[in-house]
Structure 1
Amino acid sequence: MMAVGAQTLFKKELLRFWKVAFQTIAAPVLTAVLYLMIFGHVLEGHVEVRGVPYGAFLMPGLVMMSVLQNSFANSSSSLIQSKVTGNLVFLLLTPLSPRAWFVAYVGAAVVRGLCVGCGVALAAVWFVPWSAFQPAHLGWALTFCLLGAAMMGSLGLIAGLWADKFDQLAAFQNFIVMPMTFLAGVFYSVDSLPGFWKAVSHLNPFFFMVDGFRHGFFGVSDSSPWVSLGVVGVAFAIVASLALHLLQRGYKIRH
């Protein structure tokens, strides 16, 4: 029963964002491509990071940033929308377990994040040398992409459960998710920062997601990929456990 229920809810969540793909997929791709066009055009030829041309260095960071932000947005916006419109009660009437909810919401968030990430990578072909699209370690890139998307989908569940209105969700995204994403080394190498800010950056789990993903492309990174994998894995386990705990309690959805 759990498998069938999770599969049905997962399909519903896929259709929810696919029905408005122009907004949920095309718009984020366009935003990332604008970043690539502006920063890549201005700094290409002037900046080289660890022997990698700046445009090529920027591309994996923008792909990962898009994956993380859109994975978070999918699960969080779906939950808050259901709470505000009142149709969440129809899910509560079903015999779905908390694990089924988790698998469906997080699974759909991962799919949306990967769709946007692939869209950004495809669009970047026009601006970045082809050599940047031949990953040195494809397994590392896929691992960090999937783990990062799953963690952000879980975090989106937590934010959606916590928020009572769209304003609260926007505050969570604008003051927590977006700053941590932008300060994760998407546009620069953390290794080039002064000592204090470099240390602060290493407290940000988003940095390890971006850095590990970039290692998969170029084989170079600011931190060991094994360290990054450990940090991201622990972060995902903590966030996923908290999301499951809140779902089991029915936090802000049963009362």
Structure 2
Amino acid sequence: MIDAFSILWSDLTALKRRWPRYLLTTLMSPLLYLVAFGWGLGRGIDMNGTSYLDFVIPGIIALTAMTTSFNGAGTRLNVDRLYFKSFDECLMAPVELPSILLGKALIGVVRGILSSVAFLLVAFLIARHIHITLPFVLGLLLSCLTFAFLGVLAALLARSHEDMATFGSLILMPMTFLGGTFFSVSQVPFGLKMALYALPLTHSSLFLRAAALDQPLPWSSFLVLFLFFLLFLGGGMMALRRMSV
């Protein structure tokens, strides 16, 4: 953990210098989603006894955790590896590979939590029925970890900056609108529902929404999200070992 924190420290120093600008830019998209869907299209819609505004806020939090954790870890590593070439120094340092992988992923977790909490504070001003419980905190932390390691895996596999943009277009963009963020997965046809359950954002949205609205918790979604975390962790470890040979 000490070695991982050493890897993380340089990224934290860079974040400390420009955190106000970072929060402003990362909050723009979720706030626009909130206005467009929560106040615009969703005004007057009832979702099983819950207002659409209360329904959509946990989904936007899950979406914020995904995008900021992925970009916070993946984009940073991609630039360090392909542009500055500074990641090679980490590989040559007397640091274990798991510590390098964890240190590079943790900056995504930190960024994801900061952005999610900032959006949540804004949401509290307009939504009175959002509950912050221990399961909600655990679900948010696991979501940030899962998508941060996905970002690290993508950055380790990318051969150019365009590859990261392609990954975002092919993977993150479909999850943004199909991961149960803005609609209930239970309302779609069975075949499409099974496909949506294969997306990690779907399980993050389901668990965070249930925890925030004080509904029965879908622990199966928490377990599936944890399995995705292990999958991305293992994939990142394999990619890192292949690079270090």
Which digits, 9 at most, give the CA deviation of each residue in 1:141-192, with x for residues without a partner?
1121111111111111111111122111011011112212321110111111
Contact persistence 2:98–2:237 (CA under 8 A): yes
Contact persistence 1:155–1:239 (CA under 8 A): yes
Contact persistence 2:129–2:213 (CA under 8 A): no
**What's the RMSD between the two structures over aligned residues?**
1.8
Match of 2:60 in 1: 62
Contact persistence 1:6–1:104 (CA under 8 A): yes
1:229-244 map, 5 Å: 229-244=222-237
Does residue 37 of the first structure (1) align with residue 30 of the second (2)? no
Q: Percent identity?
A: 23
Match of 1:206 in 2: 201
Equivalent-residue separation in structure 2 for 1:45 and 1:88 (angstroms): 48
Contact persistence 1:6–1:103 (CA under 8 A): yes
Match of 1:220 in 2: 215
Does residue 176 of the first structure (1) align with residue 171 of the second (2)? yes
Q: Normalized against structure 2, the TM-score is what?
A: 0.92
> Displacement of 1:45 after TM fit?
4.1
1:160-175 map, 5 Å: 160-175=155-170
Equivalent-residue separation in structure 2 for 1:89 and 1:199 (angstroms): 41
Equivalent-residue separation in structure 2 for 1:207 and 1:29 (angstroms): 21
Give the counterpart letter for 2:237 in structure 1: L
1:112-127 map, 5 Å: 112-126=111-125
Equivalent-residue separation in structure 2 for 1:96 and 1:192 (angstroms): 49
Match of 1:98 in 2: 97
Equivalent-residue separation in structure 2 for 1:58 and 1:68 (angstroms): 15
- How many residue pairs are counted as aligned between the two chains? 244
Unaligned runs of 5+ in 2: none
> Displacement of 1:23 after TM fit?
4.7
SS at match of 2:129: helix
Equivalent-residue separation in structure 2 for 1:81 and 1:23 (angstroms): 19
Match of 2:16 in 1: 18
